[in-house]
Amino acid sequence: MPAPSRHDYDTPWKDALTRYLPDFLAFYFPAAHAAIDWTRPHVFLDQELAQICHDSALGRRLADKLVRVHLREGGEQWVLLHLEVQAGRDGSLAERVFTCNYRSYERYRRPVASLVLLADRSPRWRPQQFCYRLLGSEMRLQFALAKLLDYVPRLPGLLSEDNPFALVTAAHLMAQRSRKQPLLAYAGKRYLIRLLFRRQWDRRRIMDLLLVIDWILCLPAELELELRSDIREMEGENAMPYVSSFERIGRQIGLQEGRQEGLREGLREGRQQGLQQGQAELLGWLLTRRFGVLPPAAQSRLERASAAQLLAWSESLLDAATLDEVWGREEGEAAP
């Protein structure tokens, strides 16, 4: 069941970064966020960046931005932020960042800070500078770096954080964990969307994040259709209509509306057990990240659980301080 292909550069990341720049910096680069005066407007220089770096290879960038901001201690002087979100390993990344940095400085004659977010799967790949020395001369750019893989230990906590990029990060980590495991990816995507619908956010923010999560956790056609049915049920629980935006899924994956019901029936008959196993594996992964290696009794409990129990435990995980608090009091269990 191959997932539909995605264009590496045409991503919802760009829109999310543009609309929620303060949240982006607060989450990934808190020192930079704290230094900026957010009472003054910031200005995106997308066209200018395109002209400055017109000959720079796109590579696997998810987004890049040039932003004019004011610092808290800068008075009337403004500076530039050059931001990049990089999807995969690229040996030319450091040189590209250096090139965009110095060209931005050359054009505006203002200090430029380069900040790079890595979304790749390689723990050791951490390019953070471009430099060379020649005949007593030295050229060097050290840029700020954040890496999504570093958030794996914080994954359970990310699910309850208010910053929208906490959920974006969780979606990326789940996508990496469920690579070539579509049922696990389905469980992760369904769980994140359910959490998103529970947030007390305005409709625009929820829709923006829904599109980002949808893009990151790309599913095979049949599972996308099953997910659409799940979203309709979630809408009924939350009285918030979002599924109309998911009508585009049918067009993206090339399926006709008339085939949807048949595909869903096939899923329910042939894959329901697999879907539940994916939910159990997802919850087991989250519990392990939160509480360490699970005892055999806990593993057995997950394997024997119903879909309703798995859902209840997944929601309990958000606030539970211990593994016992996740389980809660089972039906028929005596009160203390």
Q: Are 68 and 168 found together in one domain? A: no
Q: What is the pLDDT of residues 285-294, one digit of tens each?
A: 888 888 888 8
Q: How confident is the model at residue 41 (pLDDT cuts 50, 70, 90)?
A: very high
Q: What is the tens place of the pLDDT at every residue in 2-32?
A: 444 454 444 788 889 999 999 999 999 999 9
* Residue at 52 is within a domain: yes
Q: Are residues 105 and 179 in the same domain?
A: no
- 117 pairs with which residues across the strands? 85, 146
Distance of CA 234 to the CA centre of its chain: 21
Judge whether 67 lies within some domain: yes
Q: How many domains does the chain have?
A: 2
Q: Which residues of 189-199 are buried (b: 16+ CB within 10 A; e: fewer)?
A: bbbbbbbbbee
User: Which tokens is 102 given?
Assistant: 């110095």
| Whole-number Å distance between alpha carbons of 248 and 241 | 15
Residue bearing the bigger pLDDT, 261 or 138: 138
Based on the fold, state whether residues 17 and 79 are members of the same structural domain: yes
Alpha-carbon separation of residue 231 from 71, 92, 164, 226 (angstroms): 42, 41, 19, 9
Give residue-wise pLDDT tens across range 71-100. Answer: 998 777 899 999 999 988 888 899 999 999
Sign of CA dihedral 62, 209, 50, 69: negative
Assess if residue 218 is contained within a domain. Answer: yes
Residue 184 lies in a domain: yes
Determine contact, residues 164/193, Cβ cutoff 8 Å. no
Residue 161: pLDDT band (50, 70, 90) is: very high
- Between 35-39, 138-142, 176-180, the lowest mean confidence (pLDDT) is in 176-180
CA distances from residue 226 to 14, 83, 222 in whole angstroms, order as listed: 28, 36, 6
Whether the per-residue pLDDT at 45 is higher than 90: the answer is yes
User: Quick check: is 281 in a domain?
Assistant: no
Q: Return the SS3 of 82.
A: strand
Q: Is residue 326 part of a domain?
A: no
The confidence score (pLDDT) of residue 331 equals: 44
Verify that 173 and 53 share a domain, yes or no: no
Q: What is the pLDDT of residue 253?
A: 43
Listed residues 238, 272, 306: the one ending a domain: 272
Task: Kindly state whether residues 199 and 254 are assigned to the same domain.
Answer: yes
Given this model, what pLDDT does residue 134 score? 95
Residue 168 lies in a domain: yes
CA angle centred on 175, ends 174 and 181, rounded to 5°: 100
Higher-pLDDT residue of 216 and 230 is 216
Note the pLDDT of residue 7: 42
Residue 103: band (very low, low, confident or very high) from pLDDT cuts 50, 70, 90: very high
- Among candidate residues 301, 50, 3, the one with its CA nearest the CA of residue 179: 3
Do 144 and 53 fall within a single domain?
A: yes
311-320 pLDDT, tens per residue? 788 778 777 8
Q: Tell whether 24 and 136 lie within a shared domain.
A: yes
169 and 219 belong to one structural domain = yes
Greater confidence (49 vs 336) lies with: 49
* 132 shares its domain with 211: no
Query: What is the per-residue pLDDT across 298-332, written as a single tens digit (0 to 9) for each?
Result: 888 888 888 788 778 877 877 788 888 888 755 43
Q: Is 315 helix (H, G, I), strand (E, B) or coil?
A: helix
254-282: pLDDT as tens digits: 444 445 555 555 555 555 666 777 878 88
Domain shared by 163 and 138, yes or no? no
Q: What token pair was written down for 142?
A: 């050290």
Cα(327)–Cα(321) distance, rounded to whole angstroms?
A: 11
**Residues 215, 107 share a domain:** no
pLDDT at 296 over 90: no
Give yes or no for residue 146 having a pLDDT over 90: yes
d(CA 281, CA 285): 6
Q: Answer yes or no: are the C-beta atoms of 327 and 313 closer than 8 Å.
A: yes
Question: Of 133 and 300, which is predicted with more confidence?
Answer: 133
Q: Is residue 226 part of a domain?
A: yes
| pLDDT for the residue numbered 294 | 84
pLDDT band at 61 (very low <50, low <70, confident <90, very high): low
Q: What is the dihedral of CA 18, 176, 185, 318, to 10 degrees?
A: -70
Residue 56 sits in which domain range? 12-150
Of 229, 255, 272, the last residue of a domain is 272
Residue 31 and residue 122 in one domain? yes
Please state the rounded mean pLDDT for residues 29-39: 96
Of 244, 272, 300, the position where a domain reaches its end is 272
pLDDT more than 90, % of the chain: 37
Average pLDDT, the chain: 81
pLDDT score for 2: 45
